[in-house]
Amino acid sequence: MSEDCATLDLAEAAARLADGRLTSVALTEACLARAQTWQASRNCFIRIDAEPALAAARARDEELKRGHRRGPLHGIPLAHKDMFYREGRASTGGSRILRDEIAKTTATVLRRLDAAGAVEIGTLNMSEFAAGPTGHNIHYGPCRNAYDAAHVSGGSSSGSAVSVAARAVFGALGSDTGASIRLPAAYNGVVGLKPTYGRVSRHGAMPRSWSLDHVGPFARTARDCALLLQAIAGADPDDSTASMRSVPDYAAMLGAADLSGMTIGVAEHGVTLDPEIAAAMEASVRQLEKLGAKVRRVALSDLSAAFRVGETIIKGEAAAMHRQWLETRPQDYSNSVRFRIEGGLYLPATDYIDALRLRGVMTAQFISETMAGIDMLHIPATPLLTPTIVESDMETKDSETLLTLFSRLTHFMRPFNFFGLPAVSVPCGFSSAGLPLAYQLVGHPFSEGAMLRAVDVYQRATDFHRAAPQL
Amino acid sequence: MPNNDDRTPADTLMKAPGTSSITSARIGDIAVEVTRLCGAVRGAAHLFSFNDEPGDFRALLDRKSS
């Protein structure tokens, strides 16, 4: 049987494009075929743009024939969460309200990927207005887990994780305001990186919460994530929150033989984990230690304050941006999204502002206490196994009960949006039901390179990321 | 947006833009939620001082970068 080139890693596909063993058209055709096949059962795309993608691929191949290679993303098929604006195209944001809203600008991250020569084959399903950790969507249908269609994909960047896991694209962008890259990445066995706040421009990305939104990549390997991050990171005159710090050569930081010289703090969090998750966490720590990392147990302060103060910021900002539509088009929201936003309408401005003031103080405290003496923190992605779509549907189940469940699912993730620290979800095993398990690494500000280096060493010693879901 | 001119201060609070679809049954849940969120913020208020401001956060990230 001939090899399906869509199953290659991004870096390997790029190498074969560069030396002429593959064409962008061949890669794009292979990805489009898988996208169509998987779409039927997983609903990971909102749109598949076959003809424009093939036209772009032909153009990239012509450039290669002329000796012009833009870089490692040249000719590589990608797709992104349907919330990155492209001039002249509607970006739904997973919503009914924005279904026909034609963008007047193109997101900085898309412009940078275009300039890098990437090929966009479509846009990806997501939770409505990027609100919700499961991937349910009443307007476009739920996105389903790549490994078991009865289970949730995770959200809100649901399609980004599933399409990468399904090998329908080599990488994808998502956004993360409270877990929305890392949780779906964990549930679908791929790497999801939430960079430091300000590392990647948010210009042209539909907002969920201006202060807590982070844009970042999904891929199957740390190396592929590094290539994507390289293309999108950096200062942006269109986003005043984008950092002016220079962008290191992430790929050049990979390839270390081991983790010697690196200290990883293992969080003693006091949260009861599902036993299967607990076992996977311990195994991953042993593996990191075996690879040369110095492991130190770190007492983790209670994250619930950061969780709640961050939630105050999200709700206040979301209510401000949605209140006109809540007034004029309440019927066009799902219950789950309206319920999440409404509380923000009643928050005193003083508490919202104090939440922002607390951010610097609490982040400084976390860095000086928890992160002191370690290079990164190892912490579970989530304490609970992946729920089913039926049991976590807020349109049919008790909303207060489910909001409590969702808070537990994102307990280990949301605080790092508040702190603005980089965090990456790393596949590290499978449950007895065959669903992926993952841990997180949390780093110091702007330490994405060191984190990806650790994941790269881990992935070269393990093969969890090599597993592929089957239809 | 509706004209707010004929509203009392209490109406303005309870019928602010965006709230017209919120039912009286739901308002109780929202009150609990807002109390919880404000409680978290106010419970941590001892951590900051008069001079702390929202913009300090981004400067901190740059200062603490590895």
pLDDT tens-digit readout, A139-163: 999 999 999 999 999 999 999 999 9
Contact A211, A316 (CB under 8 A): no
pLDDT of residue A319: 97
ipTM of the complex: 0.89
Residue A196: both structure tokens together: 């430091």
A 152-211 residues with CB < 8 A to B: 196-198
Nearest to B42 by CA among A128, A304, A350: A350
Structure tokens, A416: 């790092």
The helix (run of H) or strand (run of E) holding residue A124 is strand A119-124
How far is residue A85's CA from residue A88's CA, in Å, rounded to a whole number?
A: 9
Instruction: State whether residue A430 is helix, strand or coil.
Output: strand
* Residues A228 and A215 sit within 8 Å (Cβ to Cβ): no
Name the pLDDT band for B6 (thresholds 50, 70, 90): low
Radius of gyration over alpha carbons of chain B, in Å?
Answer: 19
Please report the residues numbered 40 through 79 in chain A whose beta carbons come closer than 8 angstroms to any beta carbon of chain B.
none
* pLDDT of the residue at A93: 98
Core vs surface per residue A324-359: b (16+ CB within 10 A) or e: ebbbeeeebbbebbbbbbbbbbbbeeebbebbbbbb
Cβ within 8 Å, pair B54-A357: yes
Asked if B66 and A309 come within 8 Å (Cβ–Cβ), the reply is no
Numbers of helices and strands, H then E, in chain A = 14, 11
Distance CA A62, CA A240 (A): 37
User: Is A81 an active-site residue?
Assistant: yes
Q: Are strands A77-81 and A172-176 parallel, antiparallel or unpaired?
A: parallel
How many Cβ contacts (< 8 angstroms) between chains A and B?
139
Q: What's the CA gap between A385 and A393, in Å, rounded?
A: 16
Chain B positions in Cβ-Cβ contact with residue A333 (cut-off 8 Å):
none
Fold of A9-299+373-466: Amidase signature (AS) enzymes (3.90.1300)
Cα separation of A450 and A254, whole Å? 8
Q: Which of B58, B61, B62, B63 to mutate to test the interface with A (most CBs of A within 10 A)?
A: B61
Structure tokens at A140: 């476009």
Interface contact flag, A445 B64, Cβ < 8 Å: yes
In angstroms, the CA A442 to CA A190 distance is: 17
Nearest to B48 among A346, A358, A444 (CB): A358
> Is residue A397 among the annotated active site residues?
no
Contacts of B21 in chain A (CB under 8 A): 326-327, 330-331, 338
Spell out which residues of chain A touch residue B28, defining contact as CB-CB under 8 Å: none
Query: pLDDT at position A301, please?
Result: 86
| Number of helices (H), then strands (E), in chain B | 3, 0
CB contact under 8 A, A358 and B61: no
On the 0-12 / 13-18 / 19+ scale of CB atoms within 10 A, A2 is: exposed
One-letter identity of residue A124:
L
Give per-residue pLDDT as tens, B8-64: 665 666 677 888 888 888 888 899 999 999 999 999 999 999 999 999 999 999 998
Q: What is the pTM of this model?
A: 0.96
Task: State the pLDDT at residue A106.
Answer: 98
β partners of residue A233: A200
Low-confidence ranges of chain A (pLDDT < 70): 1-2
Local structure of residue A152 (DSSP, 8 states): B
- Asked if the C-beta of A120 comes within 8 angstroms of chain B's C-beta atoms, the answer is no
